[in-house]
Amino acid sequence: MTVAELEQSLAEIDSVVADLDAAIPRLTLTANYGERMSSGSKEAPTPVNIDAVSAKHALHVWLVKTCLMVGEPFTSRGGSPRTVQSLSSHLLTHLGILEANGWVPKLVTELKPLLRDCTQAAHTAAKRIFAGTCQTEHCGTELWTITGTDTTRCRTCGAEYHAISEWRTKAKAYAQDRENDILGYPQALAQRLATIHGETIGADYIRVLAARGALKRANPERGADGKKLRALYRLGDIKQLIQGSVTA
């Protein structure tokens, strides 16, 4: 655990808390209040996102405790020194003290789960979905976008990304191409087709396709030592033949 990791995590706090603050007033969420005399229902609308409030509180407590460890007076840049943003800024200013005392590994271990909890609480409420990782050099922060939107901003470096749906389409196509290039023996390929794609064909059917010349082997007949090799077939070729037979 390095001081650079701690610095990056502290730098994320402002953005993470902004997402939390936006997620807290969720009137569509419900909470269990026990049996109510009026309706008999145990569920009722809750005026806040309790998970978001709890996650922010836990982060705030950790920041206060860590700032007390530093033992340096605040040099406020405006606003109350009690806010999450001011506390994280104070720690960023005194990273040298944290490093000199050997506290960095422990603090990184504590802070990262807190940030994950905050992010999860905010994303669950906003129905956010994963959109890749930031491509800025030395960043690599996970990117999330609200369902139905096509843009996102990196919470660490501020880089903006557009056409997220286009990225997902390309990623899916890339994954599909990678899968199509899988080589295997008939039994293994038949099992994969059945498990993942629901295509209930047997290994014998693949061998029949090969015997009829419809399916070409994907490896040489003999190895470098001259010995005969078992035939391997390309998954994409089999899928294409299956699709052609269904269409016909």
The answer to whether residue 199 scores a pLDDT higher than 80 is no
Give the Cβ contact number of residue 130 at 10 Å: 12
Q: Say if CB 101 and CB 125 are below 8 A apart.
A: no
Q: Residue 123 — pLDDT band, cuts 50, 70, 90?
A: confident
The answer to whether residue 44 scores a pLDDT higher than 60 is no
Give the Cβ contact number of residue 177 at 10 Å: 10
The answer to whether residue 151 scores a pLDDT higher than 60 is yes
| Whole-number Å distance between alpha carbons of 104 and 92 | 12
pTM to 2 decimal places: 0.46
Percent share of the chain, pLDDT over 70: 76
Task: Determine which helix (DSSP H) or strand (DSSP E) holds 130, and give its type and residue range.
Answer: strand 128-133
Query: 152: closest CA among 167, 138, 169?
Result: 167
